[in-house]
Chains A and B, each alone.
Chain A
Amino acid sequence: MDTKIDFQHKMSAHCETGTLTSLLSNVGLEITEPMAFGISHGIFFGYFKSKNFPFPTFIVRSRPGEIREKLSNALKIELKRFKFKNQEEGMQKLDSLLDEGHVVGTQVDFFYMDYLPEWIRVHNNVHFVNIIGKKDTDYIVSDSYHQRTANINSSLLKKARWAGGYMAPNGFLYYPLKVNPDVDLKKPIINGIKKACRNMLNIPIPFLGVKGIYKFADKINTWPQLTRDIEHLSHEIMKINILLEDQGTGGAGFRYMYATFLKQASNILNNPVLNEMSERIMEIGDDWRNISYFAAKIGKNRDLGANRIKELSELIRKQGDAEKKFFTDLKKVY
């Protein structure tokens, strides 16, 4: 049976906050993407080397799925969640939820979203989209990274939902059951700020938080030894730009989005200090963006000698210093 639920599609910076805020808006809770990000203390940094990845990488946000869980806890949102081992059962459940009129949040491997440009599609099991209907053998998808709703064939969606591997989606589905449209955001905002500071400053693991930025600054000097050739090194260096700007961060590795959150928080809490902090993290974001530009430029020019990489490393290290000071000062506000 064909179904299409009335749903306002809109683009967002980030897939998890985008799908979540759209779902919540659909059931009456209006919350901005930066506010969802800030309350759920999504801002983060981590540097990783693992055989799950083809090359060392870094993250600029909390673990996928945590934004949804932290926000629902903070705002007392009741979510209905499902995971499936049996693929047929998982597809049938999706159909029945659509028939009942629910827009359904879904976790997928980004690689199979064939309506997006080929050059951006990589295997990444933590992409989130909303399914808003079904037509013949296609599902209708509201993807925050796409300008309009798109169709995806059911066999491809099935593949994307049960891709297996690192952080496998296992057919994950969710939708909001109950929200409070008049929820008071003040306390959740303050808690979100405190926890963000703790995560950035106090996790005793040498590659997480601000320590992760310093680790990145150190380790990038070893990248030339880890690459196949100059083109591989160029590709990995230019991926810094992708991870900071283009992979659903709102620019500058979520720092611009966090600045927007603090600006909104300043208004809600009537606290001008948060406005000043917002301007500071916006400037820190500008420096991350300069790193993105620099990485793209030296990568394209194959200007990747040891001195150039060291220069990049020093720029990253300065970001560590800036964020250490920023989060130390932010921590003092509450």
Chain B
Amino acid sequence: MKEKDLYVEFEPQKLVYYVEKDDKSYGPIISGSQLSANYLDDFWIKRRNLEKKLRKRIIANEISPVFYYMTLQEMGPKDLASRIGISYLKLKRIFNPEHFKKLKVEKLTVLADIFNIPVSNLFQTFLIKDDDREKLVLEQETTENELYHITKVSVK
């Protein structure tokens, strides 16, 4: 791949690629990601649609938040079970909301830690309306109490 054919301007995600340079030598260049530069909008559309579909299933009591976050964060079930420290079969059970409801707070904190979310987000979702997305920003802060988080909404 020649350098001129590969280079893309995309500041948020730069990568090192190996290319054929003008003098015929091969070596590294830093370029923007071609995929992100051209297709990131499509990624976000699919991501929001998936969130929406999974949220509906939580509301309908078809899946637990564990299944929701595992799917969104693209984790394999066996990998997740191993991170939690339970068997794959036990994990499958807590995909079911009825079993999820019986989990102890201790186990919920382990799950929240893996998904890197406040524990409270296993029971709620914050949404900013499409029209307000450009104007508002939502930040969740940890506190010294691992079970207690503060959510701040501010105007950009």
A interface, CB within 8 angstroms of B:
11-13, 33-34, 50-55, 111-112, 117, 119-120, 122-123, 144-145, 147, 156, 159, 163-166, 168, 231-232, 234-235, 238, 241-242, 245-246, 248, 250-252, 256-257, 259-260, 263, 278, 282, 285-286, 289, 292, 296, 299-300
Q: Which secondary structure characterizes the binding site on chain A? A: helix
Known: A246-B15, A251-B18, A282-B1. A259 touches B26 (CB 8 A): yes
Contact A123 B12, beta carbon cutoff 8 Å = no
- Which of B39, B76, B77, B88: most chain A Cβ within 10 A? B76
> Smallest CB–CB gap between B96 and chain A, Å?
18
**Given the complex, which residues of A lie within 8 Å of B20, measured CB to CB?**
282
Please give the number of chain B residues whose Cβ is less than 8 angstroms from any Cβ of chain A in the complex.
47
> Smallest CB–CB gap between A160 and chain B, Å?
10
**Of the residues A165, A235, A238, contact of B82 by C-beta under 8 Å:** A165
Task: Add 10 more A-B contacts to A246-B15, A257-B18, A259-B18 (CB < 8 A).
Answer: A11-B14, A11-B30, A12-B28, A52-B79, A111-B73, A165-B79, A234-B42, A245-B34, A256-B19, A285-B1
Contact A251 B30, beta carbon cutoff 8 Å = no
Q: Which residues of B (9-43) have their CB < 8 Å from a CB of A?
A: 12-20, 25-28, 30, 33-36, 38-40, 42-43
> Smallest CB–CB gap between B15 and chain A, Å?
6
Contact B26 A165, beta carbon cutoff 8 Å = no
**Of the residues B27, B35, B50, B79, contact of A245 by C-beta under 8 Å:** B35
Contact A159 B116, beta carbon cutoff 8 Å = yes
Known: A263-B25, A285-B1. A54 touches B75 (CB 8 A): yes
Known: A53-B79, A231-B46. A117 touches B12 (CB 8 A): yes
Contact A251 B26, beta carbon cutoff 8 Å = no
CA distance A65 to B12 in the complex (A): 28
Contact A13 B78, beta carbon cutoff 8 Å = no
Q: Which residues of B (71-106) have their CB < 8 Å from a CB of A?
A: 71, 73-80, 82-85, 88
CA distance A51 to B20 in the complex (A): 39
Contact A51 B25, beta carbon cutoff 8 Å = no
B interface, CB within 8 angstroms of A:
1, 6, 12-20, 25-28, 30, 33-36, 38-40, 42-44, 46, 49-50, 70-71, 73-80, 82-85, 88, 113-114, 116
A254, closest chain B residue (CB)? B18
**Given the complex, which residues of A lie within 8 Å of B116, measured CB to CB?**
111-112, 156, 159
Contact B19 A251, beta carbon cutoff 8 Å = yes
Contact B26 A282, beta carbon cutoff 8 Å = yes
Known: A13-B18, A238-B39, A263-B26. A52 touches B78 (CB 8 A): yes
Contact A260 B34, beta carbon cutoff 8 Å = no
**Given the complex, which residues of A lie within 8 Å of B38, measured CB to CB?**
296
> Smallest CB–CB gap between A149 and chain B, Å?
15
**Of the residues B42, B79, B84, contact of A300 by C-beta under 8 Å:** B42
Q: Which 10 A-B pairs have the closest CB atoms?
A: A51-B78, A256-B18, A165-B83, A164-B83, A251-B17, A260-B26, A13-B16, A166-B79, A52-B76, A250-B18
**Of the residues A117, A144, A168, A234, contact of B13 by C-beta under 8 Å:** A117
Contact A50 B78, beta carbon cutoff 8 Å = yes
Contact B17 A241, beta carbon cutoff 8 Å = no
Contact B35 A238, beta carbon cutoff 8 Å = yes
